[in-house]
Amino acid sequence: MLYEKLKQIKSLEQERMESTRLRVDQLIKPQGSLGKIEEIAIKLSGITGVAMPSLDRHAIIVMCADHGVCDEGIASAPQVVTLLQTLNISKRITGVGTLADPHKTKIYTIDIGVNAELNDPAVFSRKIRMGTGNISRGPAMSRSEAIKALEVGIEIAELAIKEGAKILGTGEMGIGNTTPSTAILSILTGASPYEITGVGANYPIEKLDYKASVIERAITINTPDSKDPLDILSKVGGLDIAGMAGVMIGGAANQVPVVVDGFISTIAALIACALEPNVKSYLFASHASHEKGAKLASTTLGLEPFLNLEMRLGEGSGAALAFNILEAACRMNSDMITFEESGIGVV
Amino acid sequence: MLYEKLKQIKSLEQERMESTRLRVDQLIKPQGSLGKIEEIAIKLSGITGVAMPSLDRHAIIVMCADHGVCDEGIASAPQVVTLLQTLNISKRITGVGTLADPHKTKIYTIDIGVNAELNDPAVFSRKIRMGTGNISRGPAMSRSEAIKALEVGIEIAELAIKEGAKILGTGEMGIGNTTPSTAILSILTGASPYEITGVGANYPIEKLDYKASVIERAITINTPDSKDPLDILSKVGGLDIAGMAGVMIGGAANQVPVVVDGFISTIAALIACALEPNVKSYLFASHASHEKGAKLASTTLGLEPFLNLEMRLGEGSGAALAFNILEAACRMNSDMITFEESGIGVV
């Protein structure tokens, strides 16, 4: 199913984008004066294939999973917080649920690998396994589990779209997940873990070198093939990261835009784009995460975030804030009049 | 009335901010991980004096006025565009009207000095005079006219608050208004007009030195006192700029937050803060304008914009996009649970 969906992903509809660009240039403003809002509107018409898309209903898909590498003491919070926060996210009482628009944004909370039995009707039960293996001692998961996790992402993306979402956001909850994310970034860019390892959820700065050494060990022991995204994902990745990459693939395959959140989400985007480069055309960056490796990850992905709020929470909290801006870009495209319609004539 | 309002502006309620900071630190997230969203929530409680303010209704006040200096050929659009766009703004078919939330944001369009008779019930008629004088040949307006324009801003801010607005945004429409704005910036910072003059609404780059020379002449001929904001405003300013500064003073005097938009709005903020430094505590920056002098203006004001969209339209278009983010910060404060409430205990 994964490969079938990857094949469905087309490049953007260039003719539609050209006609939208023409319209945007004729809107009643100095040409180019709405900057990236104009580019967003043009890209959205290319993604959706619609002249004047509307993004009035949003979904954030939060992938929740545990990370065996927590056994190495690389996280400041105990692993059980993943379980507790998964339940809280489904109740909309955490960061993402309160920042998201209460009337327009639905949150899908997915147990894709929480290390606990979790029977709550508000959480989608799609557990692949009880958290990943400890990557500093062996692989995170098998290759087939990585594929299954990607497919969960695709499935939930398609469910959200079926239920009305015009745009998707990607979020995660997984204590310890900056560690596999930084490992992936190191493999894809060649940067040393010692240069790019950050504090995640307030891990002590004085212990960062230790955290980097665990990441280095994970890479050394697993020897992932840097040209094979599934190999990287299964050996040093995470179920949450795989699920998010799946959401991006699912959105792209269905011509639905997907908002990348912060650091973990950007890493998932790098995996999704390594599997199929056309995925990138369907993505929008939201905020510039304050996590140390975030800037390198964004630069590598090649998408510039437009929100600078020094956030580093994850959960999809930055995506939640970006939706209204993308929606506004659609309104510019559909509701602003042209110089001709105004009777001014182009000035 | 101006001086009375200036006297009403208090410093923020420190105790309220401290108690909000305590709560924000206990919310169920790593401390500090929501970055500026946390700072926004704390500042908003200090502004409003309320533990959990809500910003569910917004107003953008668009000050429309003409600039006599257009006679020098410093704008690419003809002056009549100010009149036509004033009418269009009141119909919500321009940039600000389409980017603003259709359900939550009311737009007040004010004729504070359009150089034409304008009898439209959708536009507030508060004309001080038929545009300013040509600042490259004499003063923009008299000192008493500048005070009247500031008072119009205060009056309309108070009207919007009375009509339900919990937060105000400042916008403008005035062909040629980057010229007086750049003159004010030059006077306040000492920067040469040749270093900070930008293209405004697509003025030809090859003519920028000419535009700068007009600005330099305006400063030389009027010799404004750089320590007297009313002298600067009346000699090289604009009625739109004065009106916006008035809105900021009106918001601050009523403990209502005000969003600064782009370049012109930041210049108005510099004037308002020169009149009463406490105004600054009530202001939020929205987007980093792409106009050349904008960065210096923001740095001088000391408020860092959080949106990077390369916009340079004005009208309050950036403020329109910022409201939802400030509103989300309030929801974080009121709707997120604490660690204690969650039963996790602080981690």
Look-up: residue for tokens 């995506």? Answer: A319
Determine which of A310, A321, A327 to mutate to test the interface with B (most B C-beta atoms within 10 Å).
A310
Confidence (pLDDT) at A345: 59
Q: How far is A290 from chain B (nearest CA, A)?
A: 8
* A289-344 tens-digit pLDDT: 999 999 999 999 999 999 999 999 999 999 999 999 999 999 999 999 999 888 76
Pairwise CA distance, residues B159 & B48, whole Å: 17
Confidence (pLDDT) at B341: 87
* A23-82 tens-digit pLDDT: 999 999 999 999 999 999 999 999 999 999 999 999 999 999 999 999 999 999 999 999
Which run of H or E residues covers position B128?
Answer: none
Domain B58-325 matching CATH 3.40.50.10210: the answer reads yes
Written as six digits, the tokens of B215 are: 């600005």
CA distances for A213 relative to A67, A134, B131, B141, angstroms: 17, 14, 67, 68
pLDDT above 80 (res A18): yes
pLDDT above 60 (res B346): no
Cross-chain Cβ contact A307/B311 below 8 Å? no
Written as six digits, the tokens of B14 are: 């420190």
Cross-chain Cβ contact A342/B309 below 8 Å? no
Q: Name which of B102, B311, B200 is nearest A306 in CA terms.
A: B311
| DSSP secondary structure, B222-259, as one string | H---TT-HHHHHHHH--HHHHHHHHHHHHHHHTT--EE
pLDDT above 70 (res B282): yes
Confidence (pLDDT) at B342: 85
Written as six digits, the tokens of B260 are: 């600064």
* A237-281 tens-digit pLDDT: 999 999 999 999 999 999 999 999 999 999 999 999 999 999 999
Q: What is the pLDDT averaged over residues A219-234?
A: 98
Yes or no: say if B339 and B28 are a contact pair by the CB < 8 Å rule. Answer: yes
What is the greatest pairwise CA distance in chain A? 70
Q: How far is B316 from chain A (nearest CA, A)?
A: 12
* B223-262 tens-digit pLDDT: 999 999 999 999 999 999 999 999 999 999 999 999 999 9
Give 3-state DSSP helix, strand, coil % of chain B, rounded to 5. Answer: 50, 10, 35
Yes or no: say if B242 and B64 are a contact pair by the CB < 8 Å rule. Answer: no
CA distances for A89 relative to A82, A97, B29, angstroms: 10, 6, 12
Q: How far is B288 from chain A (nearest CA, A)?
A: 10
CA B235 to chain centre: 20
Confidence (pLDDT) at B347: 47
pTM for the model stands at 0.95
Confidence (pLDDT) at A69: 98
Share of chain A above pLDDT 90, in %: 97
**Residue A61 CA neighbour count, 13 Å, CB half:** 36
Confidence (pLDDT) at B82: 97
Where helices occur in chain A by DSSP H, the ranges are 2-8, 14-26, 35-48, 80-90, 95-99, 143-162, 178-189, 193-196, 208-222, 229-236, 239-253, 263-275, 294-301, 317-335, 339-342
* Candidates B145, B155, B315, B327; catalytic one: B315
* N-to-C CA span, chain B: 52
Residue B314 backbone class (left: φ over 0; alpha: ψ -120 to 50; beta: rest)? left
Written as six digits, the tokens of A9 are: 């992903």
Q: Name which of A14, A1, A23, A8 is nearest A43 in CA terms.
A: A14
Fold topology of B2-53+331-342: 1.10.1610
Determine which of A23, A31, A33, A327 to mutate to test the interface with B (most B C-beta atoms within 10 Å).
A33
Range list for CATH 1.10.1610.10 in chain B: 2-53+331-342
Written as six digits, the tokens of B234 are: 């009346």
Written as six digits, the tokens of B162 are: 């009375």
Confidence (pLDDT) at A342: 85
pLDDT above 90 (res B338): yes
Cross-chain Cβ contact B201/A332 below 8 Å? no
What is the greatest pairwise CA distance in chain B? 70
Pairwise CA distance, residues B147 & B145, whole Å: 5
- Chain B environment of A97 (Cβ under 8 Å): 335-336
Average the pLDDT over each of A198-202, B133-137, B177-181, B262-266 and give the range with the smallest value.
A198-202
* N-to-C CA span, chain A: 53
Yes or no: say if A98 and B336 are a contact pair by the CB < 8 Å rule. Answer: yes
ipTM of the complex, rounded to two decimals: 0.94
Range list for CATH 3.40.50.10210 in chain B: 58-325
**Is the dihedral angle over the CA atoms B224, B226, B228, B233 positive or is it negative?**
positive
Q: What is the pLDDT averaged over residues B133-157?
A: 98
pLDDT above 80 (res B345): no
Q: Could you say which of A92, A99, A337 has the minimum Cβ distance to residue B93?
A: A337
Confidence (pLDDT) at B343: 76
**Sheet of strand A167-173: strand arrangement:** A123-125, A105-113, A58-65, A167-173, A258-260, A283-285
Cross-chain Cβ contact B324/A81 below 8 Å? no
* B28-82 tens-digit pLDDT: 999 999 999 999 999 999 999 999 999 999 999 999 999 999 999 999 999 999 9
Q: What is the pLDDT averaged over residues B259-279?
A: 97
Q: Which residue of B has its CA nearest to A316?
A: B34
pLDDT above 80 (res A347): no
Q: Residue B163: which residues within 8 A CB-CB, separation 6 or more?
A: B59, B106
Report the amino acid identity of residue A76. S
Pairwise CA distance, residues B241 & B239, whole Å: 5
- Given pLDDT bands bounded at 50, 70 and 90, which one contains residue B14? very high
**Residue A196 CA neighbour count, 13 Å, CB half:** 26
CA A169-B345-B329 angle, 5° bins: 40
Pairwise CA distance, residues A169 & A185, whole Å: 21
